[in-house]
């Protein structure tokens, strides 16, 4: 797929990793973290970054359990940035309530809401909200189908097994346009096919290994969209990174915090701890975008062109990090990296 250089989209994603105070080296409270995320979103908007996407999690490392609430707050203090999620765990939520919440954010933000639906790679929300993990696939399949009906913005007739049944019900607030929906995919072919079936754009979560291995998923999406007779939307991707004034500084931050975050997840999922060799591989050839603005811009441009993706979201703040370093990453991304990626892709 050829990318349209003049209409590239660049976003920022955060899971709400709780940052650290520089003065005390202590972790912020959840309340402080949420207030800082508002400041980060304001900065991103001022810098002209296209999207900010907030991930839903229900565990101690992260402060964002209710992304749409934070997005509603951001709607009041930003002007242009698209306010999205990355992701909303539809499987353990009520599709009607999700639709209502994002219709509300869309109204408050004058049409800037975007919901990214996902099955959830973290599963704490399932027991928390009373769902059985044995129904993991079936829950998402049925709820995605109901959500697709809600997007028509017409009275809904629906018979559910895992969801409620609706008899000619109009859901409010009623929107004057179709809600902007994406689907986040972490590597499941079934998820790619499902997104194509409903005509949803796809965001690929590429968090490790050579990004080019996702070419097969992009080809699958193109074939499935054609078979279902659905429009072929441009694809996007998100990956972790740290940007600092020098490569050395960025690598030090990433080693101290991104590695810590990945090792914690690895302990829970049976992965081995990341050694220095693996860390360096991810920066040089894998899915970490770590370095000075020039280093990061060149890698983003290379991968976007290789995969043919139209949108790149930079996942910042992994492992918490110092608040000043998070702000610096956002500033350098908006001021230097994004313009430089565009220059490189234009051949300048």
Q: Give per-residue pLDDT as tens, 173-201.
A: 999 999 999 999 998 899 999 999 999 99
pLDDT tens, 124-164? Answer: 999 999 999 999 999 999 999 999 999 999 999 999 999 99
Confidence check: pLDDT of 121 > 90:
no
pLDDT at 120: 83
pLDDT at 11: 98
Confidence check: pLDDT of 2 > 80:
no
pLDDT at 1: 62
What domains lie within the chain, and their CATH numbers?
5-147+174-345 (3.20.20.30)
Please check whether residue 80 is in contact with residue 119, taking contact to mean a CB–CB distance below 8 angstroms: no
pLDDT tens, 291-303? Answer: 999 999 999 999 9
pLDDT at 342: 98
Answering whether pTM is above 0.85, one says yes
Please check whether residue 72 is in contact with residue 60, taking contact to mean a CB–CB distance below 8 angstroms: no
pLDDT at 13: 98
Identify the band that residue 336 occupies on the pLDDT scale cut at 50, 70 and 90.
Answer: very high
Average pLDDT, the chain: 96
Please check whether residue 276 is in contact with residue 49, taking contact to mean a CB–CB distance below 8 angstroms: no
Confidence check: pLDDT of 111 > 80:
yes
Work out the percent of the chain whose per-residue pLDDT is above 70: 100
Find the mean pLDDT for residues 317-344. 98
Work out the percent of the chain whose per-residue pLDDT is above 90: 95
Q: How far apart are CA 81 and CA 68, in angstroms?
A: 15
Find the mean pLDDT for residues 245-265. 95
Identify the band that residue 271 occupies on the pLDDT scale cut at 50, 70 and 90.
Answer: confident
Residues with Cβ within 8 Å of 182's Cβ and at least 6 positions away in sequence, in order, are: 84, 114, 115, 116, 117, 200, 201, 202, 203, 236
Q: Are strands 156-158 and 166-169 parallel, antiparallel or unpaired?
A: antiparallel
Identify the band that residue 38 occupies on the pLDDT scale cut at 50, 70 and 90.
Answer: very high
pLDDT at 80: 98
pLDDT at 217: 95
């Amino acid at each position: 797929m050829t990318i349209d250089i003049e209409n590239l989209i660049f976003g920022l994603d955060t899971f709400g990793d709780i940052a650290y105070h520089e003065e005390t080296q202590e972790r912020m409270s959840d309340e402080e973290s949420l207030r800082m995320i508002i400041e980060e979103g304001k900065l991103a908007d001022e810098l002209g970054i296209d999207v900010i996407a907030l991930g839903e999690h229900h565990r101690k490392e992260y402060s964002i359990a209710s992304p749409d609430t934070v997005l509603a707050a951001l709607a009041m203090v930003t002007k242009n940035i698209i306010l999205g999620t990355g992701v909303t765990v539809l499987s353990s939520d009520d599709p009607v309530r999700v639709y209502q919440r994002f219709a509300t954010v869309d109204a408050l933000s004058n049409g800037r809401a975007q919901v990214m639906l996902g099955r959830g790679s973290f599963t704490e929300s399932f027991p928390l909200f009373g769902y059985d993990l044995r129904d993991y696939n079936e829950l998402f399949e049925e709820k995605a189908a109901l959500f697709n009906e809600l997007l028509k913005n017409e009275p809904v007739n629906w018979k559910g097994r895992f969801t409620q049944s609706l008899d000619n019900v109009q859901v409010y607030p009623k929107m004057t346009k179709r809600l902007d929906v994406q689907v986040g995919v972490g590597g499941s072919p079934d998820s790619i096919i499902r997104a194509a079936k409903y005509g949803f754009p796809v965001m690929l979560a590429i968090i490790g290994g050579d990004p080019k291995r996702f070419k097969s998923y992009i080809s699958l999406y193109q074939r499935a969209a054609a078979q279902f007779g659905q429009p072929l939307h441009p694809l996007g991707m998100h990956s972790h990174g740290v940007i600092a004034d020098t490569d050395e500084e960025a690598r030090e931050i990433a080693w101290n915090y991104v590695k810590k975050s990945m090792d914690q997840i690895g302990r829970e999922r049976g992965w081995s701890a990341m050694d220095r060799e693996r860390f360096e591989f991810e920066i040089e050839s894998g899915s970490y975008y770590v370095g000075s603005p020039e280093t990061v811009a060149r890698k983003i441009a290379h991968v976007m062109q290789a995969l043919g993706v139209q949108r790149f979201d930079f996942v910042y703040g992994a492992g918490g990090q110092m608040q000043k370093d998070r702000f610096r990453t956002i500033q350098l991304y908006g001021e230097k990296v994004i313009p430089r990626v565009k220059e490189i892709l234009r051949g300048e």
